[in-house]
Structure 1
């Protein structure tokens, strides 16, 4: 297993969370789909609920108290060595601050930003909470990719803010996909240019043992799932939870 007990390198997707109108319903759904256990936080912390695999934090759920909210999404947070400095770089590169830098008790420091193409993401400098403590394993985070109809400004923005290098993917043929790599060469995700995308957004892909079985569990638990499909890297299914939150699951192809 890929177990993490310290903060990830700068620029790495390190944490994900989701705000929903019905926390109990969300726990019922994601528990059925992924087998997650849950540690529900106290009211003083907004019932911020840790999702666990083998006792390790893989994500969080929280109530969304906005009665007018109609759209929900998994937030991705990138690790940063210094939240304030990264926010300044994001603003200089054309980004917009949604939530300014703030301390989250003794857990860490965060901010929320929108890039120049309108996609929102978070920044996290971990203290007592380092982020995901299990990744790249079944029922945990595998990767995040940005889907946008305007990939050029997005590629430039993330390269400027995090120092990512940009590499094309020869295996996807004519698809407009660019790998984002940390300065040490580690791939942290990618940017997919999709002219048909209605908006720009970061997607979340969870690793599973069997994409077909996971999609079936999602339907049985009250979500929706498109038919799974094969791609060069494995078998993937696109799913929405009962609140319409999109995410993907993938069974990687090794060897």
Structure 2
């Protein structure tokens, strides 16, 4: 378990939020699945909820942004000290700014971008809201990974913008690297190779820890969600890729003892 009450180091995934059409339905789904308390937010935030686990912030649920045909989705935010300077680096490194830096009241300053591989992510300069307060615990975020069909370009992009070092974990035709901040693993960057269906878009995936992956999959089905990839075992825990009751994709993993 990891708890934190201050800003996360630069480049670390520090927050995730879900944009959906039906906020009440999403709050109920994740409350049942992950044990979150998700009180509705104020009208000035569009009802944006800060979801809590054991009294600590773990994720956000808010109204979907963009055109009506944009699907519900989870967004991963990377911590930055200066959103404006990072936005300039993103553009210079070949990324595309989708939402220019702007203040979110006194909570912080954010921007939304797409990397050269096409995956959308956010950057977060924290003020009153420092991001995730609980991680690596059932019901909380435990991993974030970037997947695209432009693996080498994305490795170069994220190194240029965030200064990442990498540990190459590639094997058996699958290319994947763990990115590190201050020498510590912070997430993954991988390739959507030929074995992946062509309709899978570039993305950042959020993984939530659960006590029992198979039980979580059964619960998702009961709650009206879907199973995109049935549970499978890895050296890092038993995983599954799921869709919630409005179609937003996420992953769960039952981590082995010790995290």
**Range into which the TM-score falls when normalised by the shorter chain:** over 0.9
Q: What residue number does 1:215 align with?
A: 217
Shift of 1:117: 1.3
Q: 1:211 to 1:104 in 2, by over 3 A?
A: same
- Matched-pair contact (CA < 8 Å) for 1:21–1:65: no
- Matched-pair contact (CA < 8 Å) for 2:118–2:148: no
Q: What residue number does 1:190 align with?
A: 188
Runs of 4+ that moved beyond 3 A: none
Q: What residue number does 1:202 align with?
A: 204
Q: 1 CA distance for matches of 2:111 and 2:12?
A: 15
Shift of 1:253: 2.1
Shift of 1:2: 1.4
The equivalences for 1:78-97 within 5 A come to 78-97=78-97
Shift of 1:151: 0.5
Shift of 1:59: 0.3
Q: 2 CA distance for matches of 1:66 and 1:4?
A: 32
Q: What residue number does 1:147 align with?
A: 147
Q: Deviations over 1:153-172 (max 9, x none)?
A: 111100100000122116x5
Q: Deviations over 1:132-185 (max 9, x none)?
A: 111111110001101112211111100100000122116x54321111112x11
Q: 1:67 to 1:82 in 2, by over 3 A?
A: closer
Shift of 1:244: 1.1
Q: What residue number does 1:245 align with?
A: 248
SS at match of 1:212: helix
Q: 1 CA distance for matches of 2:63 and 2:115?
A: 25
- Matched-pair contact (CA < 8 Å) for 2:107–2:127: yes
In structure 1, the gaps of 5 or more residues are none
Q: 2 CA distance for matches of 1:243 and 1:27?
A: 11
Q: 1 CA distance for matches of 2:66 and 2:246?
A: 14
The equivalences for 1:19-98 within 5 A come to 19-64=19-64, 68-98=68-98
Q: Deviations over 1:64-118 (max 9, x none)?
A: 2767225121101000011111111111100111111111111111111111111
Count of residue correspondences = 253
- Matched-pair contact (CA < 8 Å) for 2:21–2:72: no
Q: 2 CA distance for matches of 1:109 and 1:89?
A: 16
Q: 1:88 to 1:234 in 2, by over 3 A?
A: same
The equivalences for 1:6-17 within 5 A come to 6-17=6-17
Q: What residue number does 1:130 align with?
A: 130
Q: 1:142 to 1:65 in 2, by over 3 A?
A: closer
SS at match of 2:68: coil
Q: What residue number does 1:109 align with?
A: 109
Q: 1 CA distance for matches of 2:70 and 2:79?
A: 29
TM-score by length of 2: 0.93
